[in-house]
Amino acid sequence: MDFGLSEEQRLLQDTLRNFAGQECPLPRLRELFEAGQGHDPELWKGLVEIGVGGLALPEAHGGSGLEVLDLALVAEVLGEAALPVPFLGHALAGLAIAWGGSEAQQAEWLPKLATGDVTATVALLEGSSAWQPEEWALAPGASLRGEKRYVPDAARADLLVVGTQGGGFALVETGDPGVSWTAEEGLDRTRGIAHLHLDGAKAEALPGAGAAARVRDAALAILAADAFGAAWRLLRMTIEYAGTREQFGTPLAQFQGVKHQIANAATSLEPARGLWWYAAHAVDQLPDRAPHASAHAKAHLTDRAIGAARDAVELHGGIGYTWESDVQIWFKRVLFDRTFLGGPEVHRERAAQISGW
């Protein structure tokens, strides 16, 4: 029994942390945040070189053959760094093709996803909700007509995996004349979102059944991990700030009111780490457990993370509430993780149903 990370997994995280620290220091992140595009092609290129593009894709198709847990570990670091890269959509689209695609579809697309020659994303939501496979209403067929909302990292994607009625997936190339976008101004400026219009776009269904539910579970675990990383980053920033900012002649952190608030936030967050570890692991290895575990991970982690994030803003005082302060970058990153694909209440109710309550 080993509920912990392997040497390789730690190494992967260290590599990514170094990369983020070197390639996207705060001033650069701030520039990207101000630009509001949610995407930096150079950063993404660098990540793909590290292998992030095909991390959990089969080795036979150019991937590294790792697992959803490894994707979640990447997400934790990306959340910590608030890295503006199209990781979420790309990773999920890759899983959709690997789990639901035909041999030919896999052979055509996966190697390109792994090398980053093609960037992909998933188009799931149809309104402000309807993100679950069983809620999709878009009629399947050789061409697709309809709308998808809040598509992550859409502006730079070459390939779309679109959710269709009955929990199906279809592949659509963004170069198709039937595809158009309205970019939305995203709250989280480190990850873009767009409104997708499909007007007779050429589509190719993925034959595999059941892939959509699995992709959803993977998405929930990955969002939980991202929120966890972002919230810990906020706590660390707060610990540093409270250690240097003086009021009443002493650092804030020496006041118990402050110290205890930080200790409480950390204690609500850190013990929950195993929730996303387990959920991600379950998607790969314990399929029966994955829906329940990932629902809990998403609900609990994003709830605890937003609590920690609120404390972080508050403990930075007035400066923390300014546009100028960096805490807003991570606060909004957590808000994205919490809101995208359903908030805590929705997932708690799902978990309750899965438990047979």
Instruction: Report the nearest approach of another protein to the CB of residue 100 (Å).
Output: 25
| Integer Cα distance of 210 and 233 in angstroms | 35
Query: Is 329 a binder of another protein (CB under 8 A)?
Result: no
Burial-class residue 192 by CB neighbours within 10 Å (0-12, 13-18, 19+): buried
Question: What is the closest distance, in whole angstroms, from the C-beta atom of residue 29 to another protein in the complex?
Answer: 24
Least distance between another protein and beta carbon 239 (Å): 6
Residue 246: CA count within 13 A, CB half-sphere: 3
Binding span for another protein by CB under 8 A among 53-61, 117-125, 129-137, 255-263: 255-263
CA gap 15, 18 in Å, rounded: 5
110 neighbors 58 (Cβ within 8 angstroms): yes
Please report, for residues 24, 127, 180, 331, the alpha-carbon distance to residue 84 in angstroms, rounded to integers and kept in the order given. Answer: 9, 24, 23, 14
Q: Is 324 in the site for another protein (CB under 8 A)?
A: no
Q: State in angstroms the smallest separation of the CB of 240 from another protein.
A: 10
Residue with tokens 């908030």: 343
**Site for another protein (CB under 8 A): which residue of 37, 158, 255, 326?**
255
> Closer CB to another protein, residue 145 or residue 273?
273
For residue 86, the surrounding DSSP H or E stretch is none
Q: Does 45 bind another protein (CB under 8 A)?
A: no
CA distances to 11, 75, 95, 269, 343 from 274, in Å: 19, 15, 22, 10, 20
Write down the least CB distance from residue 312 to another protein, Å: 13
Q: Is 286 in the site for another protein (CB under 8 A)?
A: yes
Residue 231 engages another protein in binding (rule: CB under 8 A): no
Selected from 26, 107, 142, 352, the binder of another protein by CB under 8 A is 352
Q: Which residues pair with 164 in a beta bridge?
A: 168
Nearest-approach distance from CB 117 to another protein, in angstroms: 31
Angle at 134 between CA 279 and CA 102, to 5 degrees: 75
Residue number, 4 or 27, with CB nearest to another protein = 4
Alpha-carbon span 154 to 139, nearest angstrom: 21
Rounded distance between C-alpha atoms, residue 179 and residue 176, angstroms? 6
247 forms part of the interface with another protein (CB under 8 A) = no
**Which one of residues 273, 317, 326, 343 is an interface residue with another protein (CB under 8 A)?**
273
> Alpha-carbon distance 214 to 216, whole Å?
5
Instruction: Work out the widest C-alpha separation in the chain, in whole angstroms.
Output: 70
Pick from 20, 68, 69, 151 the residue near another protein by CB under 8 A: 69
Q: Counting contacts by CB under 8 A, is residue 287 touching another protein?
A: no
- Closest to another protein by CB, 153 or 217: 217
181 binds another protein (CB under 8 A): no
Cα four-point dihedral sign 220, 329, 117, 56: negative
Q: Is residue 142 within the footprint of another protein (CB under 8 A)? A: no
- Which one of 259, 310, 317, 339 is in contact with another protein (CB under 8 A)? 259
- Return the residue of 115, 182, 247, 254 that touches another protein, per CB under 8 A: 254
Residue 202 or 289 with smaller CB distance to another protein: 289
Asked if 64 contacts 55 with a C-beta cutoff of 8 angstroms, the reply is: yes
Is residue 316 near another protein by the rule CB under 8 A?
Answer: no
Please give the Cα distance from 55 to 63 (Å, whole number): 6
What residue ranges bind another protein (CB under 8 A)? 1-6, 69, 239, 242-243, 250-251, 253-256, 259-260, 262-264, 266-267, 270-275, 277-278, 281, 285-286, 296, 299-300, 303, 344-345, 348-349, 351-352, 357
